[in-house]
Amino acid sequence: MASRYWAVSLPVQNSASSVWNNLQEQISKHSFDTPLYRFNIPNLRVGTLDSLLSLSDDLVRSNSFIEGVAQKIRRQIEELQRVSGVESNALTVDGVPVDSYLTRFVWDEAKYPTMSPLKEIVDSIHTQVAKIEDDLKVRVAEYNNVRSQLNAINRKQSGSLAVRDLSNLVKPEDIIISENLITLLAIIPKYSQKDWLASYETLTSYVVPRSSKKLYEDNEYALYTVTLFHRVADNFRTSSRDKGFQIRDIEYSSEAQENRKQELERIVQDQESLRSSLLQWCYTSYGEVFSSWMHFCAVRVFAESILRYGLPPSFLVNIHLMFSMNFL
């Protein structure tokens, strides 16, 4: 079930345990068995009131940015899983599920020393997340570029005969190219095939009788060969166009065919490699961004609690689980 968590700060006048017990009692009365967790925030460096007021304005904007990056990575993970048919894996932070990390949050002192000014911590988080967003853009662009190349090749292979690559439909024995003769490929509207067969020998002089052979047919067109003398090829093209037949040249080369096949295989492998690499990077980066976001939220709750309740810091922060809501 999808869920959303609320972080709530409450002032403590006497005993934190008393406030906690009273809160749990009230929650259980009115919200059934809705889970309630302590959100442990260390004693951070308060600074001046002016610095807190100035920071408060930045916190709202930065929160939207950091949350947005986390959402981008999550959506990218879902898209990669959908395209590849991979079963959805639970997102994790430092190897544990997101929910467990959130409800058992512990401040990372090594990464964000509590004696650092709050603005320094916030700037550090913002810079780190911005770098991850930049890396995401580069990696996604690289992956999408390879996907576009593969899609372009697939369109050539699977489009209508009017636009697709014909090389894989033609065999060496279908083509005659000599000093005097040339084989052309004719794209004939599906319902004009009788007209083609009845008229192609007379579209110009020096067409080899009964030389037209159907190689392939799709929903719209049929592919035919026709053999004629080199010197009348241009006249044949003009006459064919006047009757609604499209003539396409092809120089069959087994070497070129093999090169195209190898290129397709390479691009398919590149796409799979980039997809796997990007998905793994997204899993790792999502955990990093989410961890940074939770530390940011801790700073935000701390700063706003000081502004609301005053000094010295004396408040209790809890995480309240709200059901049937979307959560990262």
DSSP 152-167: HHHHHHHS-TTTS--G
Alpha helices for the chain (secondary structure H): 16-30, 49-84, 98-103, 118-158, 193-199, 233-242, 254-309
Whether the per-residue pLDDT at 314 is higher than 80: the answer is no
Instruction: Please state the pTM of the whole predicted model.
Output: 0.73
Model confidence over 283-311: pLDDT tens digits? 999 999 999 999 999 999 888 888 887 77
Percent of the chain with pLDDT over 70: 84
- Which of 38 and 200 is assigned the larger pLDDT? 200
Structure tokens at 184: 């052309």
pLDDT tens per residue, range 2-19: 457 777 776 766 655 555
Find residue 322's DSSP bridge partners.
Answer: 4
3-class SS letters over 11-29 = ECCCCHHHHHHHHHHHHHH
The full 3-state SS of 96-143, as one line of letters, equals EEHHHHHHCCCCCCCCCCCCCEHHHHHHHHHHHHHHHHHHHHHHHHHH
Q: How far apart are CA 265 and CA 259, in angstroms?
A: 10
Domains of the chain, earliest start first: 3-155+268-323 (1.20.1460.10), 171-251 (3.30.70.100)
The pLDDT value recorded for residue 328 is 38
**Per-residue pLDDT at 130 exceeds 60:** yes
Q: Is 26 exposed, middle or buried (0-12, 13-18, 19+ CB in 10 A)?
A: exposed
- Top mean pLDDT of 229-238, 248-257, 315-324 is at 229-238
Give the model's pLDDT for residue 178: 87
Contacts of 279 (CB under 8 A, 6+ apart): 77, 80, 81, 84, 86
Lowest mean pLDDT among 37-46, 84-93, 107-116, 214-223: 84-93
* Whole-number average pLDDT of the chain: 84
Q: Is the pLDDT of residue 155 over 90?
A: no
Coil vs helix vs strand at 226: strand
**Confidence at residue 254, expressed as pLDDT on a 0 to 100 scale:** 67
Contact by Cβ (8 Å): 212, 226: yes
